[in-house]
Amino acid sequence: MLSGKRVVLGVTGGIAAYKAVEVCRRLVDAGAHVQPVLTEGAERFVGTVTFSALASEPARTSLWDDVDPIPHTRLGQGADLIVVAPATARLVGSYAAGISDDLLTATLLATRAPVLVCPAMHSEMWEHPAVQDNLTLLRSRGVHVVEPTSGRLAGGDIGSGRLAEPADIVAAAERLLTAPTLAGVHVVVTAGGTREALDPVRYIGNRSSGKQGYALAAEALARGAQVTLISTVDRPAPDGARLMSVESAAEMEAAVGAVEDAEVIVMAAAVADFRPASTADRKLKKDAGPPLVELEPTADILAGLGARKRPGQVVIGFAAETDDVAANAVAKLRRKGADAIVANDVAAEGVGFTHDTNAVTIHVADGSVVDVPLADKRVVAAAVLDVVERLRKPSG
């Protein structure tokens, strides 16, 4: 998603500097050419060797240890994006005041590329008026900020100021550098597996982790879409997405119905085909013997969307199979009235549920087929949305 883009990764002296290693790896995996720049403070927490091994070029640390007499200018002019993660209160203050006393701050002042600042510090520092005023000033100058989250901080404290997750930082970078091919388009993505209650404790469910749906939401956001994520998974939505949390197939049907006027709907969730006809109001006891559970079919959300599909709307379904994958996927495509079905063999190694990778075949209603070999689920998401974009283009 960042193929060929030159990213300067600035790392400053905070305990969260260890997370910058993961940011670096993810940027490289996304195709970026990454040049790390570490401050003197950063080297107290992380080593240059680690970044040099993971990045595209050796880590840089000083204005004075390079054969180039003006390294900050070269870095600033050559960058497509500068990411500072973590950004300490000192870095934020120096940048806002225009003080360039090291290679990183000098590079920030010597660039016209977009800058993404990711603050991380203790709660008291984060909430200090001086820090907030400096960030307000930087935002007014066009600097992009990924705000910290709340959670466990150094010393065992709990509060705001925790560095945003590396995946969210890289997603923000992708949004800044990815052409907004879906700008203004409302994309609905479903994710996770539904749970159909047997009693207040137990449920009938499946192994879906929701990772593919979340990757689709992140990719749609990177392409400029307005994203609604309907999820059964207990995890934060990608930054910028509207999250609708559901549990059962009935709840998912209602949530999808509330937004089915969207231009694009991607049904990546694993929706149960059956649910208990009745739910016990108390926990079923083992000593009472195995319960006799009568099942009834759940609503077929995808088929309903296919039947009501408006001109120009794109509806994508998923098919997790264990045998006769292609035949089952094509049959589902015809039966559901979708524009495409994304099929995978969940019995294969590294594919489908719980994995960070997937391998799929996209069967399109026009007869075309797109094969995506084993890859990160974000790569699969990109392939699915490439098909969506093609289907949205007027024919002829």
**Residues labelled as active-site residues:** 206
Question: Measured between alpha carbons, how far is 315 from 256 in angstroms, rounded to an integer?
Answer: 12
Whether 294 and 278 have beta carbons less than 8 Å apart is answered as: yes
Whether 10 and 82 have beta carbons less than 8 Å apart is answered as: yes
Whether 75 and 107 have beta carbons less than 8 Å apart is answered as: yes
Find the distance separating the first CA and the last CA of the chain, reported in whole Å.
Answer: 28
Question: Measured between alpha carbons, how far is 170 from 268 in angstroms, rounded to an integer?
Answer: 23
Angle, CA 218 vertex, CA 225 and CA 52 arms, to 5°: 130
- Nearest CA-CA partner of 228 in 194, 266, 180, 193: 266
Question: Measured between alpha carbons, how far is 154 from 134 in angstroms, rounded to an integer?
Answer: 23
Question: Measured between alpha carbons, how far is 53 from 33 in angstroms, rounded to an integer?
Answer: 13
Record the tokens describing residue 126, joined without a space: 């984060």
- Nearest CA-CA partner of 337 in 304, 288, 383, 385: 304
Distances (CA, A) of 157 to 16, 45, 129, 172, 368: 14, 19, 21, 27, 55
Residue 368 class from Cβ within 10 Å (0-12 exposed, 13-18 middle, 19+ buried)? exposed
